[in-house]
């Protein structure tokens, strides 16, 4: 397990914490692998009935660590980031996300695979994929239009602008806005309430809720992943990532 991911199980609730606050909890390949492993183990363990995903120090996650991402770019869909996405999308038990502060890129798209999402008023969401010259991931190109409608999904993905917790609530991405001081306690209380319910019935309910979309989600995630890997070597993506590392505005006028 990566030391930047904390895994704690108590009272039938497994809490997964992104613990890299000095880098705004940006996710490295090792962190993705640690979370994917934790989810697979939790799915099989009778000691876990509910999972809570959260960040630390007022940040959910800034998304991919672009430095490590550029050093170890995914060459196919059998890499830590894709294994993480497959693990959370296929997880059979309830998943609760507690979002405080920034939730960028995968920090937002992973929420589409969580059953319940609670956010603080200072939560900020962003889907920067087009700005980075890559396609969206985590089956968000399918799930987001289904959730918010095609026009709103286009606005969120095309412009890649940040949106706040109230907007996320209005769009249906967030279940409830909770004061930052009580956010994690609220998520823990909701998890405890679920953990006290009949586990088999909960899992069947989740399975039925997702039965009509599970196959399409898996297919879309694979298609997005293949396009994502392909686009990483495109001139547009090279310019976008180079500009980011050089802390300048990218220039797409020549494309």
Per the prediction, the chain carries an average pLDDT of: 96
Span 81-97, pLDDT tens digits: 999 999 999 999 999 99
pLDDT band for position 2 (50/70/90)? low
Query: Which residue segment(s) compose the domain that 82 sits in?
Result: 5-180
**Mean local confidence (pLDDT), 44-62:** 97
Task: Estimate to the nearest angstrom the gap between the alpha carbon of 16 and the chain centroid.
Answer: 13
Q: How many domains does the chain have?
A: 1
Q: Give the residue-averaged pLDDT of 125-145.
A: 97
What lies within 8 Å, CB to CB, of 150 at 6+ separation is: none
**113 pLDDT exceeds 90?**
yes
Q: Average pLDDT, stretch 228-246? A: 93
Q: Is residue 33 part of a domain?
A: yes
Beta-bridge mates of residue 51? 14, 95
Task: State the Cα–Cα distance between residues 98 and 59, nearest whole angstrom.
Answer: 10
State the Cα–Cα distance between residues 62 and 126, nearest whole angstrom.
9
- Residue 75 in this model has a pLDDT that exceeds 90: no
pLDDT at 31: 95
Query: Average pLDDT for residues 129-142, to the nearest whole number?
Result: 97
Arithmetic mean of pLDDT, 8-18: 98
The whole-number average pLDDT for the span 114-137 is 97
Q: How confident is the model at residue 71 (pLDDT cuts 50, 70, 90)?
A: confident
Whether the Cβ atoms of residue 89 and residue 140 lie closer than 8 Å to each other: no
DSSP for residue 121: T
Residue at 201 is within a domain: no
Strand order in the sheet with 5-10: 5-10, 13-18, 50-55, 95-99, 116-119, 176-177
CATH of the domain at 50: 3.90.226.10
Residue 17, in any domain of the structure: yes
Q: Is residue 244 part of a domain?
A: no
State the average pLDDT over residues 11-26.
Answer: 97
- Structure confidence by residue, pLDDT tens digits, 207-236: 999 998 999 999 999 999 999 999 999 999
Which two tokens mark 67? 């430095």
What's the pLDDT at 35?
A: 98
Tell me if the pTM is above 0.85: yes
- How confident is the model over 33-46, as pLDDT tens digits? 999 999 999 999 99
For 98-111, what is the mean pLDDT?
98
Q: Is 80 exceeded by the pLDDT of residue 61?
A: yes
Q: Is residue 209 part of a domain?
A: no
- CB–CB of 116/94 below 8 Å? yes
Q: Is 203 among the domain residues? A: no
Average pLDDT of the segment spanning 199-206: 98
User: For residue 38, is it within any domain?
Assistant: yes
Q: pLDDT-based confidence at 243, cuts 50/70/90?
A: very high
For 249-255, what is the mean pLDDT? 93
Is 233 part of any domain?
Answer: no
Position 140 scores a pLDDT of 98
Give the DSSP H or E segment for 50.
strand 50-55
């Amino acid at each position: 397990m990566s030391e930047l991911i904390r895994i704690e199980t108590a009272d039938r609730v497994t809490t997964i914490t992104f613990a890299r606050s000095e880098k705004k909890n940006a996710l490295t390949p090792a962190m993705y692998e640690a979370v994917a492993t934790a989810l697979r183990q939790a799915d099989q363990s009778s000691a876990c009935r509910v999972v809570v995903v959260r960040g630390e120090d007022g940040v959910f996650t800034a998304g991919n660590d672009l430095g490590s991402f550029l050093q170890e770019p995914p060459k196919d869909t059998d890499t830590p980031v894709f294994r993480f996405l497959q693990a959370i999308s296929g997880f059979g038990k309830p998943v609760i996300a507690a979002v405080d502060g920034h939730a960028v890129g995968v920090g937002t798209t992973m929420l589409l695979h969580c059953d319940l999402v609670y956010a603080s008023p200072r939560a900020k969401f962003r889907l920067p994929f087009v700005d980075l010259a890559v396609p969206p991931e985590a089956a968000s190109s399918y799930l987001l239009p289904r959730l918010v409608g095609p026009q709103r999904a286009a606005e969120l993905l095309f412009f890649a602008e940040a949106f706040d917790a109230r907007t996320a609530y209005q769009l249906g991405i967030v279940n409830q806005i909770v004061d930052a001081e009580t956010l994690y306690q609220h998520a823990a209380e909701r998890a405890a309430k679920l953990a006290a319910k009949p586990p088999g019935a909960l899992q069947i309910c989740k399975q039925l809720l997702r039965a009509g979309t599970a196959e399409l989600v898996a297919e879309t995630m694979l298609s997005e992943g293949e396009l994502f890997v392909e686009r990483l070597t495109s001139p547009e993506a090279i310019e976008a990532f180079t500009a980011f590392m050089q802390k300048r505005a990218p220039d797409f006028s020549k494309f």
